[in-house]
Amino acid sequence: MSLYSALYAGVSGLSAQSSAMATVADNITNINTVAYKGVEAQFRTLVTDGRASSSYSAGGVAASPIAEVSKQGLLQASGSSTDLAIDGGGFFITRSGLTQSDPVAYTRAGSFKPDEEGYLRNSSGQYLYGWRLDATGGYTNTGNLDALTPVRLSDLVGTAAPTTKLQARINLQSDATISSAASTYTAGQMASGAVTPSFTRSFTVYDSQGGSHQMNMSFLKTAANTWKVENYLVPASDTTAAGGVVSSGTVQFNGDGSLNKTASTAALFSPLTINYTNGASSVPIDIELGDNGSINGLTQFGQPSSLISGGADGGILGNIASTEVSKDGVVSAIFDDGSTRKVFQLPIATFPNPNGLTRVSGNSYSANRSSGSMTMNPPGQLGAGKLSSNTLEASTVDLAGEFTNMIRFQRAYSASSKIITTVDDMLREVSDLKR
């Protein structure tokens, strides 16, 4: 009987509008939740028999909540350097615990703060995960979630950082006297003291155990625009290299005082690996002495030979003063002595269909068949958005729109209830026919 189908249609209307009102309630209550993605209630028809021509049987309606996960919220300034927002597509990778057996959750809620053990966690208690950088600042992206570790910086306090970079901007006096030993000079004589350098500058480099070593960079003028260079440790017994000399060669300058890197010895500008005798390991030290044809490193002008700027990194790490996150996702610890160390690389997870992700508690999502396979890459690469520190993503909820929807759903609910009461009156009329 068609009246009964109308009755069931009214009931389905009540159920659908109730579900729609629930989405409005969820959206309004989460209007201040960081990176919350609003849920839109859409409706679909229910048809019992679309082939009927002489009579009609009502099917009703069903609600289909759609999560607008891919919608970008406004980025708002924050006072914490560990508050992070993704400008573009993608999600942070988090876990509910510190082990690989803990469930993975993907979120855009970047309100991360160090907990009592120094791990970065957001307001939902999820641990932020990333690639741990090695001593040279490198990592390997295998695409495997098990390669990620929880982000923690406090374990660096009191540890050592080897020297990985030595930068020097040095001017060598152009009218300096050519050394009398220029014609007989051989490599290692400046380190041994047999030949007095025209200019020497000392740098402190550190091994992987935090041990400090003095490295001298000595220059000897042998001809116009030509200088011999020796890099050696003092004392020489700190390294296995003969005479303590770790590199040597010739540096050439152009007529305008700029560096002629092409005509110079390439080894002087290549990464330097020092073999220490104390058993400490060494990492390659990038030597930054300027670009070819430029004046941003070694130069030759009329002023007295001197170090204009430069130095080497590394040493014993003290207390962490602050944390810095670059737009490329590199997490760096800044220590109280002003030194900086890159510690983690944050990945961004992307999905072919982010709107198909399954919502879980804590403003997070889990992957499923509808979302497609997860791909993780550094921020800004292959569809992954860039990071913005001191920033949080706001909720995508429009309060005015939600109140308007509330009126719509309330009226539709009342109308559905009228269907039920009207059908009840009609069924009563049918029952009264027997009297």
Query: 13 forms bridges with which residues in the sheet?
Result: none
Does residue 373 have a pLDDT over 90?
yes
Token pair, residue 175, equals 């009218």
Work out the average pLDDT over 54-80.
89
Work out the average pLDDT over 47-58.
74
DSSP-based three-state secondary structure for 343: strand
Does residue 365 have a pLDDT over 60?
yes
pLDDT band at 155 (very low <50, low <70, confident <90, very high): confident
pLDDT band at 50 (very low <50, low <70, confident <90, very high): low
Does residue 276 have a pLDDT over 60?
yes
Q: Are 109 and 364 in contact (CB under 8 A)?
A: yes
Does residue 18 have a pLDDT over 60?
yes
The crossing angle, in degrees rounded to 10, of helices 399-432 and 2-29 is: 160
Given the structure tokens 């509330």, which residue do they identify? 406
Q: What are phi and psi of 376, to 5 degrees?
A: -120, 135
Q: Are 98 and 310 in contact (CB under 8 A)?
A: no
- Report the pLDDT value the prediction gives residue 125, as an integer from 0 to 100: 93
Give dist(CA 108, CA 33) in Å, integer: 11
Does residue 156 have a pLDDT over 90?
no
Work out the average pLDDT over 290-300.
95
Distance of CA 295 to the CA centre of its chain: 34
Pick left, alpha or beta for residue 133 (phi over 0 → left; psi -120 to 50 → alpha; otherwise beta): beta
- Report the pLDDT value the prediction gives residue 336, as an integer from 0 to 100: 79
Mean pLDDT, all residues of the chain: 91
Does residue 1 have a pLDDT over 60?
no
pLDDT band at 314 (very low <50, low <70, confident <90, very high): confident
Token pair, residue 45, equals 């028809």
- Nearest Cα neighbor of 84 from 348, 374, 383, 360 is 348
Give dist(CA 219, CA 237) in Å, integer: 22
Does residue 52 have a pLDDT over 70?
no
- Nearest Cα neighbor of 195 from 163, 220, 222, 229 is 220
- Report the pLDDT value the prediction gives residue 256, as an integer from 0 to 100: 95
Question: Residues 233, 238, 239, 240: what is their CA dihedral angle, to the nearest 10 degrees?
Answer: 130
Length of the chain: 435
Give dist(CA 253, CA 297) in Å, integer: 12
More confident site: 11 or 2: 11
Does residue 295 have a pLDDT over 90?
yes
Give dist(CA 296, CA 281) in Å, integer: 31
